[in-house]
Structure 1
Amino acid sequence: MDFQVVVLAGGTSKNLVPIVSKEVPKALLPVANRPVLSYVLELLELNNLKDLIVVVEGEDAALRVGGWISGAYVDRLHVEELPYLLSADSKLRVEPTQLLDTCFSPNTGQLEVLIKWKDLPDFEASWELFDVIQQQFPDFHVEDKVTLLGGGVIDKTKPLVAAVPEDVGTAGAIRAISHHLTANDILVVSGDIVSDVPPGAVAAAHRRHDAVVTAMLCSTPVSGPLESGSSGGKDKTRKTGRYNLIGLDPTKQFLLYIATGAELEKDIRIQKSILRAAGQMEIRADLMDAHLYAFKRSVLQEVLYQKETFHSLRRDVLPYLVRSQLRSEVLLNDVPQPEENGNGKVGSQTNQLIQSQILANASKPSFHQLYAVGPNGSDPVRRTHKCCVYIASSNNYCARLNSIQAFSDINRDVIGEARNLSGYSFSAQNNIIHPSAELGSKTTVGPYCMLGEGSQMGDKCSVKRSVIGRHCRIGSNVKVVNSVVMNHVTIGDGCSINGSVVCSNVQLQERVVLKDCQVGAGFVVTAGSECKGEALAKKEK
C-alpha cells in the first residue's frame, strides 16, 4: 500500500509517574506481561505495514526501546538506531561532509560507509550504516557517492528507532524526523494503543477519499475497576469516559468538528460555511480520537513547516485542517489549482474543466467537491481539502495507555473481555498460569488472572482479576485484587493489595496493606504499613 508508518512511542510520560522511570519508559510498560509497544508493532506487522520509524522522546529511552525491539523481533524485524543528532531546538548537531570509503559488513552483509563529519577531526570519522546516513541526511546524497565508489545499495525499508528531544509534543516529534518521510502517505500511530482495529482499513479509507487526513475513531472505553466478585461482565462501577466531541457529516465519512481537553467545557462553535455545505451535522460524545491518523505527507510537512508553534497533532494540526477544509491553504499535489484572471474570477474554461474532473472522480461527489465548484458551476473554484474518519466497529477493542487508570484497565481487559489480544492460551479456568510458576497449598488464582514465569506463591493466597509478573516471590496469606504486580517483586506474609500497581523490584514487607496505590520501581514498603490512594516512589537523584 506504500504507506510509511511513524509510531510515536513517547518517553517517560509525566502523567504515568511513578510507574514509568528511566529504566522503564512508557513504551515498555507491561500489558499482560508484554510491553505495550509490542501490541502496536504486531498489529502493524499483521497488516503488512513494515516501513516503520519508531520515535522515542529522550536518548536513554530510545536506546532502551531500540534494544528491546532488536531482541524481541530479532528474527522478524531489522532495527537500526538513528544517531541522536538533534539539539533541544530539533536542529542537527553534526553533519557529514565527505564519504571516505565503503564496505559490506562481514557479519550482517549490510552496506557501511565511512563518514567524515563537519567540524570534527579526521580521526573522528566513523563507519555508519548506509541506510541510516541516507535517511538522516538526505541532502548529502550518499547514494550518488556510493555509486561513484562502486558500492551497492541494499533494501531501504527497515524500521528505524529515532530519538527526539523530550517534551517536543507529537507535532514536534514528527517535525524533527520529517526529512525521513518519503512516501506519499504517512500513517501516524500512537505507541500506547492496544487495539484489534486493522490500521490497513484506515489507510484504505484515506486513499479511497483522497483525504489530507483520516482519523480513526473508536468507542470511548469504560474505566474503573470491576467488583472483585464479578465474573467478567461490565459492572456498574465502570464508567464511560468523555474524551472528545466529534462532528460528522450525514454520511459519517467526513470530520466537521472536533473538541478535546479544555475545549469540552466551552460552548460549541461551528463554522457556518461547513454546516451549510454539509447540510447537517451529527455531534457525537461517544467516540474517541484513537490517535491513529493517515496524512498526505506533503500536507503534513507543509503544515508543520508553516505552523512552527504547533505542538500537538491532536490539539493543533487536526483541528486546523478541519477548520480550514473549505478554505484550504495547503497545496494538494494531485488537485489542479485555479488561476485567477484580471477580475479575480476563474476563467470559464478552467472552471468547467475542474468541475468535470471533480464530477468524474466520484459517482456521488462529496460536499467538498460541490462547494468547490459553486451552485451553478460558474462561480470561482474554491480550494478545499477532505478530512475523513474511519469509525471502528463497537465490537472492536481500542484503548490508549495514557493514564495510570488506563494502565490498570487495559491490563484487566487484555486478560478478560479482550483476551484475544493477549497472544496467550487460557486455561479451562479462564486464567494464565505459567508452567514454571508454583502455587502453595490452598492458594487460588481466579478467572481473568495471570501469573508469570518463575513466580512463587505461598499457602492460602488469593488472586482475583490481577496480573502478576515474572519471578515474583509472594508469601502466605496474601490477597491481590484488581491489581498489577510487575516483575521481581517480593511480597511478605499477610499483605493485602487492592486496586494498586506495584512496579518491578519492589519489596512489600509483612502485613502491608495497599488500597488504590502506585509503588514505583525498587521501593521498600515497611512492615505493617497501611496506604490508601498514595504514590510511593524513590526520590530522583
Structure 2
Amino acid sequence: MKEFTVILYAGGNNRLSTDLSIPKALLPIGNRPLIWFSLQIIQSHPSLASSPLLILTSGQYRQILDDYLSTLNITYELIVYRQHHESTSDDQQQIQDELGTLDILRSCYSRIRTESICLISCDLFGKVNLTSLINMFRVRDASLSMLLIKTIIPSTTGKETIIQPGQKIKFTTEPEFYTVDQSTNRVTSIRLKADLDEYLPLRQNILAKYPRTIIRTDLVDAHLYLIKKSCLDIAIRSDYSSFRKEFLPKMIRQMAIDQPLEDLISTPANRTTMIRQQTTDLDDNADLSRLLEEYDCDNQEIRGGCYYSTDETQIFRVKHVLSYLEANRQASLLILSYTNEDITFKERLEQIQISSDCVIGDGHDIGKKTTIRRTIIGKNCRIEDKCKIINCVLLDNVHVKEGVTLQNSIICSRSTIGSKCEIQNSIICSNQQIEGNSKLNGETISAINHESEVYMVYDDEQ
C-alpha cells in the first residue's frame, strides 16, 4: 500500500495576462508552465513520485490542462471540483471564487486510499528538499507536518533591486506568528495579525510543557503539507471552508493543550503508526536510531501533533507580479538543476546582441541591430530591427515593431508594440495594441479596469 496520496491544487484564474482561457497553472515561467515546477518538486522525492497523484482544477480549465499534462511522462487523475457555466451570474461567480481548500478537497476525498496525504499548491517555486519534512512526519508520527519558508521580499531578491512593473499598487502580506518549541520543531499556535489585538497571548500550560517556546515572525507558509488521513477525516466532516485560516490554527491549538476534540482531530488511539521499522524504508538509507535521536523522538509524549520544517534555499510562492518576474529570472538555473538542460539562448545571430542569460522560445524572428539582455521571450515572437529589450518577460506571439525600447516590463500574449515606443516598468496585458511613439512608465494597459486583478497573478490563501 502506498503511503501518500499527492493532491496538487491547480485551480483558479490567471489574472496577470487577463487571458482567462489560460489557467494560472499554465502561466509560463521560463517558457514552462507554472505547474511544471510543482511537478518537479513532487517527482524529486521517491516516496511522492510513486504515489497516486490527484490534480484538482475547475471545469473551465479541465481540457486545456489535461492537454498539457498528457504530454508528460506522469500518471495522474484530473478532478474537477466545480463546473464552469458560461452564464454564471455575479452572485454564483462570487460563491465559486470563495471556495476554500476544504470545500475543494471534499470533491476528491472519496478517491484517497492511503494513510497520509501530501497537499501542495501549484504556485510553489524553488528547489525544495522534502527529505527532512518527510522524515520528521514519519519519525514523529505527526498528524501534520508543514513546510515554512523564509520571508522573502521579492524586490530585494536576486542581484539587483526589482522595480514593480505596472501601476503602483502596494503589495503587503499579513504577518504570521508561529509559536514553536525550538527543541522539537512542534508548532503550538498559528496567529495572523488580523486575529490579534495588541498582544500575542501565550498559554501558561503550553509554556510549562514546552519551556523552549519561541515566536517566529520570519517564516511564511509554503502551502505544502503532509497530513494524516485520520486528521483530514475530521476536517472534511467539519463545517470549515478554509484549511489554512480556519481548521489548521484550531487543530494545532487543541493538540497543544491536549484536548483532542472530535470535531477537530482524531484521538491518538485512532491513528495508525507510520514510523518505518526497517532502515531501508527510511529516506537516504538513514539509520532509525540516528533519526530518532536527531528528531528527539525517544519520548512517546512528543509523538503526534503538528511540526514544521524550514528550507534555507530560496523558495517562494508565485502569487504577484514581483514574484512572477523574479521566478522568470531564476527559471533557467532551476530548470538546469532539475533536468540538466540548459535552456538559455546559445545561437549566434549576425548584428544581434543577446546575453547568455536570455531564454528565447521557438519560432522567433529577431531583427538586425537588436539588443536583448536578461529577458524571457516566448514562442513565435517577432522583434523587428533596432529594438532594445532589457529585464523583460514577453509571452507567446508578441510583435515588437522597429526601434522599440522595453525595460523591466511584462508583455502578455498576442500584443503588439508600435514602432519607436519607449516602455519601462509596465505591464501590457493580452491582445493589446500600443500605438507607435508611445511612452509608458509604470502603466498597466488592459481591456478591463480592475487593476488589482491585473496586478495579482492570483491570490490563494485558503
User: Does the alignment reach a TM-score above 0.5?
Assistant: yes
Task: Tell whether the 8 Å contact from 1:18 to 1:537 is kept in structure 2 after alignment.
Answer: no
Relative to 1, partners in 2 of residues 1:19 and 1:451: Cα closer, same or farther, differing over 3 Å?
Answer: same
For residues 297-308 of structure 1, what are the structure 2 equivalents within 5 Å?
A: 297-306=229-238, 308=239
For residues 242-391 of structure 1, what are the structure 2 equivalents within 5 Å?
A: 244-260=176-192, 262-263=194-195, 267-306=199-238, 308-311=239-242, 313-325=243-255, 326=257, 327-329=259-261, 330-332=265-267, 334=269, 369=301, 385-391=304-310
Does 2:74 correspond to 1:77? yes
What is the deviation of 1:539? Answer: 4.3
Does 2:54 correspond to 1:53? yes
Partner residue of 1:534?
A: 443
Mapped partners of 2:197, 2:154: distance in 1: 20
Task: Tell whether the 8 Å contact from 2:55 to 2:76 is kept in structure 1 after alignment.
Answer: no
What is the deviation of 1:368? Answer: 8.6
Q: Secondary structure at the match of 1:10?
A: coil
Relative to 1, partners in 2 of residues 1:424 and 1:498: Cα closer, same or farther, differing over 3 Å?
Answer: farther
Q: Which amino acid aligns with 2:159?
A: K
Mapped partners of 1:405, 1:176: distance in 2: 33
Q: Which amino acid aligns with 1:398?
A: I
Partner residue of 1:135?
A: none
Partner residue of 2:275?
A: none
Partner residue of 1:102?
A: none
Mapped partners of 2:211, 2:235: distance in 1: 28
Does 2:16 correspond to 1:18? yes
Q: Unpaired segments of 5 or more residues in structure 2?
A: 86-94, 165-170, 272-291, 450-462
State which of 20, 36, 39 in structure 1 corresponds to 2:37: 39
What is the deviation of 1:65? Answer: 1.2
Mapped partners of 1:40, 1:221: distance in 2: 19
Task: Tell whether the 8 Å contact from 1:22 to 1:61 is kept in structure 2 after alignment.
Answer: no
Partner residue of 1:204?
A: 135
Compare CA radii of gyration and give the structure with the larger one: 1
What is the deviation of 1:473? Answer: 0.4
Mapped partners of 1:332, 1:214: distance in 2: 17
Mapped partners of 2:417, 2:176: distance in 1: 40
Task: Tell whether the 8 Å contact from 1:221 to 1:241 is kept in structure 2 after alignment.
Answer: no
Does 2:68 correspond to 1:68? yes
Q: Secondary structure at the match of 2:106?
A: helix
Relative to 1, partners in 2 of residues 1:179 and 1:194: Cα closer, same or farther, differing over 3 Å?
Answer: same
Relative to 1, partners in 2 of residues 1:225 and 1:500: Cα closer, same or farther, differing over 3 Å?
Answer: farther
State which of 82, 102, 122 in structure 2 corresponds to 1:191: 122
Relative to 1, partners in 2 of residues 1:421 and 1:221: Cα closer, same or farther, differing over 3 Å?
Answer: farther
Q: Secondary structure at the match of 1:186?
A: strand
Relative to 1, partners in 2 of residues 1:389 and 1:433: Cα closer, same or farther, differing over 3 Å?
Answer: same
Partner residue of 2:288?
A: none
Q: Secondary structure at the match of 2:159?
A: coil
For residues 427-466 of structure 1, what are the structure 2 equivalents within 5 Å?
A: 432-433=344-345, 439=349, 441=351, 443-466=352-375
C-alpha distance after superposition, 1:316-345 (max 9, x if no partner)? 222122221122212236459xxxxxxxxx
What is the deviation of 1:494? Answer: 1.8
Q: Which amino acid aligns with 1:415?
A: S
Partner residue of 1:175?
A: 106
Q: Which amino acid aligns with 1:173?
A: I
Mapped partners of 1:199, 1:365: distance in 2: 19
CA RMSD across the alignment: 3.3
C-alpha distance after superposition, 1:436-469 (max 9, x if no partner)? xx8451x222243212222122122222222111
Mapped partners of 1:412, 1:64: distance in 2: 26
Relative to 1, partners in 2 of residues 1:402 and 1:298: Cα closer, same or farther, differing over 3 Å?
Answer: same
C-alpha distance after superposition, 1:486-537 (max 9, x if no partner)? 1111001122222221111111111222222222222211212222222222
What is the deviation of 1:419? Answer: 5.8
Q: Secondary structure at the match of 1:202?
A: helix
Task: Tell whether the 8 Å contact from 2:344 to 2:360 is kept in structure 1 after alignment.
Answer: yes
TM-score using structure 1 length: 0.67
Mapped partners of 1:486, 1:19: distance in 2: 9
Aligned residues: 404
For residues 375-524 of structure 1, what are the structure 2 equivalents within 5 Å?
A: 385-392=304-311, 394=312, 396-415=313-332, 418=334, 420-421=336-337, 423=339, 425-426=341-342, 432-433=344-345, 439=349, 441=351, 443-524=352-433
Task: Tell whether the 8 Å contact from 1:27 to 1:192 is kept in structure 2 after alignment.
Answer: yes
Amino-acid identity (%): 21
Q: Unpaired segments of 5 or more residues in structure 1?
A: 89-163, 227-232, 337-361, 371-383
Mapped partners of 1:284, 1:506: distance in 2: 45
Mapped partners of 1:236, 1:263: distance in 2: 33
What is the deviation of 1:81? Answer: 4.1
Q: Which moved more, 1:293-302 or 1:76-85?
A: 76-85
Mapped partners of 2:142, 2:363: distance in 1: 50
Task: Tell whether the 8 Å contact from 2:106 to 2:236 is kept in structure 1 after alignment.
Answer: yes
Relative to 1, partners in 2 of residues 1:473 and 1:35: Cα closer, same or farther, differing over 3 Å?
Answer: same
Mapped partners of 2:218, 2:163: distance in 1: 15
C-alpha distance after superposition, 1:140-171 (max 9, x if no partner)? xxxxxxxxxxxxxxxxxxxxxxxx95441222
Q: Which amino acid aligns with 1:205?
A: M
Task: Tell whether the 8 Å contact from 2:230 to 2:270 is kept in structure 1 after alignment.
Answer: no
Task: Tell whether the 8 Å contact from 2:139 to 2:297 is kept in structure 1 after alignment.
Answer: no
Partner residue of 2:90?
A: none
What is the deviation of 1:82? Answer: 4.3
Q: Secondary structure at the match of 1:176?
A: coil
Relative to 1, partners in 2 of residues 1:276 and 1:299: Cα closer, same or farther, differing over 3 Å?
Answer: same
C-alpha distance after superposition, 1:225-266 (max 9, x if no partner)? 78xxxxxx6336699996533222122521123334745896
Q: Secondary structure at the match of 2:230?
A: helix
Q: Which amino acid aligns with 1:322?
A: I
TM-score using structure 2 length: 0.78
Kindly indicate whether structure 1 or structure 2 has the higher relative contact order, using CA contacts under 8 Å at least 6 residues apart.
2
Task: Tell whether the 8 Å contact from 1:248 to 1:256 is kept in structure 2 after alignment.
Answer: yes
Task: Tell whether the 8 Å contact from 1:516 to 1:533 is kept in structure 2 after alignment.
Answer: yes
Task: Tell whether the 8 Å contact from 2:403 to 2:421 is kept in structure 1 after alignment.
Answer: yes
Partner residue of 1:110?
A: none
Task: Tell whether the 8 Å contact from 1:32 to 1:422 is kept in structure 2 after alignment.
Answer: no
C-alpha distance after superposition, 1:70-127 (max 9, x if no partner)? 1x21xx2244544677699xxxxxxxxxxxxxxxxxxxxxxxxxxxxxxxxxxxxxxx
